[in-house]
Amino acid sequence: MKTWILMLLALAMPVVAMAEEGGEKEDPNKVSYVALAPPLVGNYALDGSPKLHVYKADVALRVTGADAQKLVKTNEPLIRNQLVALFTQQTVDSMSNVDAKEKLRQEALKQTQEVLTQETGKPVVEDLLFNNFIAQ
């Protein structure tokens, strides 16, 4: 009989441990990445040339804490609008080489932080990453 009780207790321990883990508070300094989905897609270099130039950008924003993540999600339409406007203004040269894309990434981060500062009073986003960036 004692063996049976010990086996029952041994099986119940992982369930109790999992229930306790769910009750823990989330770390306020936890870094997370918020992906802007779906990817940003549009035209650029609208200089009147007959050739159509298209971009596709998978963007992720690095934030710290659940509050920052929530602020980014709340303001995502405004962030997307700002980034689409920025990408549309680019030239073929600014979308074609690595150095130019890095400058574009930094400008996208700066504009995202400015827009969030206007809306929330703080920049919220620490970094902006291109998970995938295609320009044709």
pLDDT at 46: 75
| pTM for this prediction | 0.77
The token duo for 100 is: 């130019």
pLDDT at 132 over 90: yes
Quick one: average pLDDT of 52-73?
95
Domains with residue ranges and CATH for the chain:
31-135 (3.30.479.30)
pLDDT at 8: 44
Q: 55: which residues sit within 8 A by CB, 6+ positions away?
A: 40, 41, 42, 43, 44, 87, 90, 95, 133, 134, 135, 136
pLDDT in tens, 5-56: 544 445 555 544 444 455 456 677 899 999 999 999 999 987 767 788 999 9
pLDDT at 24: 55
pLDDT at 19: 46
Identify the residue with better confidence: 1 or 31.
31
pLDDT at 120: 94
pLDDT in tens, 73-102: 999 999 999 999 999 999 888 888 889 999
C-alpha span between 15 and 13 (Å, rounded): 5
C-alpha span between 104 and 102 (Å, rounded): 5
pLDDT at 4 over 70: no
Q: How would you classify residue 82: left for phi > 0, otherwise alpha for psi between -120 and 50, otherwise beta?
A: alpha
